[in-house]
């Protein structure tokens, strides 16, 4: 399999963290492709020109990080990253995944906006992202499901927090959130996170 990615993408990191957790990272060849440059080898598989994009061994493309994570999980019998059986447990994991994934969305918007010239409308838009990220972090701080096995939701949360540290190291998201800070300090030591640190 080939994974088109960039080193800074939190979405790609989520996929890689899942692959490490599933024990199949060695089956994935990493291909660095800047989606903003619309590289033909990426666009051929994914006309959206977004990373991550996975190309399976039979040439099938799987796009969007959640679909890729589910595909990878399908390859491993008895996996426990994401339950496939419809029901409460799957809904809860996907709910927390979607919240953590939302942190990524807001942080990526903020990063892109921060590279542009400052204008009042833009400052408002960025402040909204910061506020949304803060609300979701507060939600996780008080969640009674913070601790537990590294299922998709927790892997996504850890990748999102890693992206905040990578792009906004002065934000101080740990302040007032001691549970989340302690949880992340432990999560970051796991191979899934330690082996997939972001790079520019
Ligand atoms: N919802 C997608 C988001 C992927 C995404 O937006 N990736 C960024 C890189 S971090 C990208 O490819 N941007 C290029 C573009 O939007 O043109 C996922 O979860 O995989």
CATH code assigned at 40: 3.40.30.10
Q: Do 97 and 188 reside in the same domain of the chain? A: yes
Count other Cβ atoms within 10 Å, centred on residue 61: 16
Q: For residue 180, what pLDDT is reported?
A: 98
Look up residue 55 and give its DSSP letter. Answer: E
79 within ligand 1 shell (Cβ under 6 A):
no
| CATH value at residue 153 | 1.20.1050.10
Indicate if 118 and 58 belong to the same structural domain. Answer: no
Structure confidence at residue 191 (pLDDT): 98
Domain contains 83: no
* Whole-number Å distance between alpha carbons of 166 and 199: 8
The pLDDT assigned to 189 comes to 98
Q: Is the CB of 50 under 6 A from ligand 1?
A: yes
Handedness of CA 110, 8, 158, 56 (dihedral sign): positive
Rounded CA-CA distance 84/51 in Å is 24
How many separate domains does the chain show?
A: 2
User: Mutation test of ligand 1: which of 11, 32, 164 has the most ligand atoms closer than 8 Å to its C-beta?
Assistant: 11
Ligand 1 pocket, residue 64 CB under 6 Å:
yes
Range of the domain at 16: 2-74
> Is the pTM value of this prediction over 0.75?
yes
Pick the atom of ligand 1 nearest to 15's CA. Answer: 20
**pLDDT mean by block of 10 residues, the chain; 200 residues:** 98 98 98 97 98 98 98 98 97 98 97 89 92 98 97 98 98 97 98 97
- Cβ atoms of residues 52 and 40 within 8 Å: no
* 117-130 per-residue burial string, b: 16 or more CB within 10 A, e: under 16: eeeeeeeeebeebe
Q: Is residue 44 part of a domain?
A: yes
Same domain, 58 and 7: yes
Rounded Cα distance between 166 and 7, Å, is: 11
């Amino acid at each position: 399999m080939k994974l088109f990615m960039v080193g800074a993408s939190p979405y790609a990191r989520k996929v890689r963290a899942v692959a490490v957790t599933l024990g199949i990272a060695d089956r994935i060849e990493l291909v660095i492709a800047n989606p903003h440059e619309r590289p033909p080898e990426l666009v051929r598989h994914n006309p959206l020109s977004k990373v991550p994009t996975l190309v399976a061994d039979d040439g099938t493309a799987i796009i969007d990080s959640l679909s890729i994570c589910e595909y990878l999980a399908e390859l491993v019998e008895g996996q426990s990253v994401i339950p496939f059986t419809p029901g409460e447990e799957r809904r809860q994991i996907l709910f927390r995944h979607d919240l953590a994934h939302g942190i990524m969305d807001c942080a990526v918007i903020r990063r892109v906006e921060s590279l542009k010239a400052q204008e009042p409308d833009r400052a408002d838009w960025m402040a909204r992202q910061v506020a949304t990220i803060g609300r979701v972090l507060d939600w996780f701080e008080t969640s009674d499901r913070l601790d537990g096995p590294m299922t998709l939701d927790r892997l996504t949360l850890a990748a999102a927090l890693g992206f905040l540290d990578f792009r906004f190291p002065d934000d101080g998201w740990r302040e007032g959130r001691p549970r989340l800070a302690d949880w992340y300090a432990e999560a970051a030591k796991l191979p899934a996170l330690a082996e997939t640190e972001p790079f520019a």
